[in-house]
Homo-oligomer: A and B are copies of this chain.
């Protein structure tokens, strides 16, 4: 009862954000993600749970770039992605590891992170550019790490065009 009487005025930012998964995403210079996935299978015994690819846009593009390959490894999940000129939402400077946090409330999570000192980068986007087709935003924390805040991954099937 008492908890329901909390005044809303002073707790504007005290949103309860629940994260359902945390997945390191390894960016690999396109089109090497396909090789990287094979490497992680061979070297560490990773098991591929799903893969989404970009639509093939260019005639000269031999392999469709990998938007996100999900690999199960030691009870956790890592994502491996090709990074190319046109993969805007997940682009970082050069190669790099970003950390995906999945939540149903992307905006609230970003607002909370920003109020704690992170810097939002870009807009929340939806669809092709996001991990597995959901909504995704990005923040950089004060220590230089980039976190993708995204809706929980849908079933990752091969959507090769």
Contact = CB atoms under 8 A, between A and B. Distances in A.
Interface string A58-96: 000000000000000111101000000000000000011
Interface string A122-148: 000000000000000000011111010
Counting every copy of the chain, the complex holds: 2
Interface in A34-60: 35-36, 39-40, 42-45
Interface in A94-122: 95-97, 99, 101-102, 109, 112-113, 116-118
Contact of A74 (B22, B40, B118): B22
B74 A20 contact: yes
B21 A143 contact: no
A19 B45 contact: yes
Contacts of A31: none
A97 B95 contact: no
A74 B102 CA distance: 8
